[in-house]
Structure 1
């Protein structure tokens, strides 16, 4: 009898979930949160609870629906093909926006070595567009190397961030932290809601946690637990790292920094160590951007194969790379970089993050609301049903609050994108219409 392949344990899956979330999303956050003050750290508490609810909801949905498509497939269970398309396109666009935000993070840390990149908004934009195209062209060689690079470079963020969470407390000053607490005189509620979109940005990607369910021991028990523990583990590191950095670097300096973690390590040790951390962060951003550029092009290809996207996204070169789709996405991301150009790196990063969160949480709400239909179809009742509904409701209410906290401009942008999505669907819908139509008697107007 052939030996059964070894499956992942709960601990192994939990580590994968945490590492998948802890990409480059965290490395610019201390600068943006410092503009509000250390009171913005309260946003982590709200986001940690909401993110764990979202992660658990998707873990449950992944057990009931294991079709390809993830959130889009979940939405289809309750809303049919229109729901599938709406969730797919909004999520697809959020990845494109997120890629530009990751590029901004890389430019911020590169500016430590090449100050000209942050000298003017035009110089920043040119540097950003150059990075976007560099990582796009690098993917023309196909998927063979991209995944390996990303698996290594992600540690360029995890090591410094996790490291400062542990050893940074030896340099922590309660006086520095107290001075940074509430420089703008916000109320407790304002402070708690001030950085919801920014903190949620660091958790985006948790929706993919259930994708490994087929390779896990006892998936019905371990997948939901790994989602919760992995999200909680990432939350602890996020909270500790952003808290300790507020007690190491004076708030005014942190708010102006283009490389906050490098600045903290430079103050803890010396500028040379700070430069090493800066280089690690750049590598992490480039690796993350490289992987996401391929992922989004591959997502477009999958949709084109399902006749939900232009056919040219399906074209691949001899090495399996959807080059045409990558080029189109490179143009789209370059336009996003131009549209969001701002006086400072942190302002552009914040604008992109807010828009990415809006276009992410709308699919979250739609997909999570389909969990009720999934459970009804699977005849789930009793305590399990009530517990899942309660958690999904917390997740959806938090997602709705995150929409509100993202600000008027981001919500307006998200609504415009949603409107365009429905316009596009109007042209695609006939491809999926059933040929059987009920005869309708003509209405006679007296």
Structure 2
């Protein structure tokens, strides 16, 4: 495929041709800083603020899982950087399987990723509620909690309608606002850690390997977003170079904050209290300050962080079906781009679907639904990772790469193989229920593919 020049301001079609007359030229508005901020902003969101309490029932083994995940996330970042050099266009995790295995594989990847996006968006919006409750007590009123979650969803959606330039600006600002305070808390908090607060190494009752896989499946939610620059490669200037750099730098920065932060939280909040905490980072800061003002400050940061994360995820959720729709593998309305460069119908679709899940959350049991949503996102997120790694292995096996030194080929093979194994392990760790529900979400897209593909072939035959 012919890659666009670095000065080209239009995004090429997935097959390398220029957009048709129906598609307006799109300027690449994300520089390397904005692209890195997009990756970090999408990774560091609800995960770091909500998940310490979610994985606390597993005990200290979840800290080991976090270390394993950090290595795996860097491997995925390297993988996406390599794949983006081959296909530097919007859609990333849809484009790679499509180019390697055909339209059905591309559709399954796009559908699964899209499902992961709007389920994740709903989970992030729910995560806001615990920290808003620190600022404004909601007294367990599910109606008020639901309204707060809906506001957290629709405000970033409105920012997306303003255009990709606004999305990039919001990501840079929100990433700075949350990264600096979190890093300060994570480092200062280490001086107040009490080893007795960590609790047992394995509190789950499972085997160590089982607890490691199960806690890693939950914690993957905190690393979703490593692919953000690859998915939005069409918005990134010089994507062959900047997508890989932004992915790796954003992942490494996020991993640093995560590892320090989760160790601090585990060591500051007694294990029994952490298990039932709705705002673990606020509780951790209160333990440092000996009062409530610190928790209030971190709650403000958490709300800003998660809202900024939602801003980026809504863009991701619109970009993936946009790329598939341009190939006729998603409804045509997903391919329409507004004046601001954002696929508006895609934003509306994920906002409405996220609203439905939030409503379900506060009518079917908010104590358990967040965990279920997180595990479903693990499965639906790992399917595109798995297919992308398989695509890279396919290209390497075909030997179509040019002027590749043996050492580079071996390195790329190792990265792709480990990324595939890592994704497979996480899917297995999600558990039977999450895999079952995730497969139902995945297979629900097959009739959509059959209908769209059939109409497409009929139109080609008639032409």
TM-score (norm 2): 0.81
Task: Say if 2:91 and 2:319, in contact at 8 Å, map to a contact too.
Answer: no
Task: Say if 2:286 and 2:292, in contact at 8 Å, map to a contact too.
Answer: yes
Q: Matched residues in 2 for 1:121 and 1:37: separation?
A: 29
Q: Matched residues in 1 for 2:249 and 2:159: separation?
A: 35
Worse overlay, 24-33 or 118-127: 118-127
Pair 1:172–1:381, CA change in 2 (3 A): same
Aligned ranges 1:61-72 → 2 under 5 Å: 61-72=83-94
**Cα deviation, residue 58, structure 1:** 1.7
What's 1:105 paired with? 127
Pair 1:205–1:120, CA change in 2 (3 A): same
Pair 1:395–1:354, CA change in 2 (3 A): same
Pair 1:367–1:109, CA change in 2 (3 A): same
Question: Which of the numbers 413, 418, 424 marks the counterpart of 2:448?
Answer: 424
Task: Say if 2:41 and 2:312, in contact at 8 Å, map to a contact too.
Answer: no
Match status 1:38 vs 2:66 = no
Question: Which of the numbers 373, 385, 396 marks the counterpart of 2:409?
Answer: 385
Match status 1:370 vs 2:391 = yes
Match status 1:157 vs 2:178 = yes
Pair 1:306–1:318, CA change in 2 (3 A): same
What's 1:56 paired with? 78
SS in 2 for 1:26: helix
Q: Matched residues in 2 for 1:409 and 1:169: separation?
A: 37
Match status 1:412 vs 2:436 = yes
Task: Say if 1:92 and 1:296, in contact at 8 Å, map to a contact too.
Answer: yes
**Cα deviation, residue 115, structure 1:** 2.7
What's 2:380 paired with? 359
Q: What do the CA deviations read for 1:314-334 (whole angstroms, capped 9, x no partner)? A: 456666665544333322112
**Cα deviation, residue 64, structure 1:** 2.5
Match status 1:401 vs 2:421 = no
Aligned ranges 1:86-101 → 2 under 5 Å: 86-101=108-123
Q: Matched residues in 2 for 1:289 and 1:225: separation?
A: 23
Task: Say if 1:142 and 1:321, in contact at 8 Å, map to a contact too.
Answer: yes
Match status 1:28 vs 2:35 = no
Which ranges of structure 2 fall in alignment gaps of 5 or more residues?
Answer: 1-6, 8-29
Q: What do the CA deviations read for 1:115-153 (whole angstroms, capped 9, x no partner)? A: 32x615555334323432344345444445333223212
Task: Say if 1:27 and 1:261, in contact at 8 Å, map to a contact too.
Answer: yes
Q: Matched residues in 2 for 1:186 and 1:289: separation?
A: 34
Worse overlay, 238-247 or 138-147: 138-147
Q: Matched residues in 1 for 2:375 and 2:418: separation?
A: 21
Q: Matched residues in 2 for 1:347 and 1:84: separation?
A: 32
Pair 1:340–1:385, CA change in 2 (3 A): farther
Task: Say if 1:197 and 1:405, in contact at 8 Å, map to a contact too.
Answer: yes
Pair 1:404–1:378, CA change in 2 (3 A): same
SS in 2 for 1:370: helix
Q: What do the CA deviations read for 1:256-282 (whole angstroms, capped 9, x no partner)? A: 222111111122113112111111111
Q: What do the CA deviations read for 1:297-350 (whole angstroms, capped 9, x no partner)? A: 354444434433223334566666655443333221122223445877563322
Which ranges of structure 1 fall in alignment gaps of 5 or more residues?
Answer: 438-446
Question: Which of the numbers 305, 310, 322 marks the counterpart of 1:289?
Answer: 310
What's 2:223 paired with? 203
Pair 1:175–1:363, CA change in 2 (3 A): same
What's 2:167 paired with? 146
Worse overlay, 12-21 or 145-154: 12-21
Pair 1:122–1:404, CA change in 2 (3 A): farther
SS in 2 for 1:377: coil
Pair 1:77–1:43, CA change in 2 (3 A): same
Q: Matched residues in 2 for 1:232 and 1:14: separation?
A: 11
Aligned ranges 1:124-203 → 2 under 5 Å: 124-177=145-198, 179=199, 181-203=201-223
Larger Cα-atom Rg: 1
**Cα deviation, residue 186, structure 1:** 4.5
Aligned ranges 1:230-379 → 2 under 5 Å: 230-269=250-289, 270-315=291-336, 322-341=343-362, 345=366, 347-375=368-396, 376-379=399-402
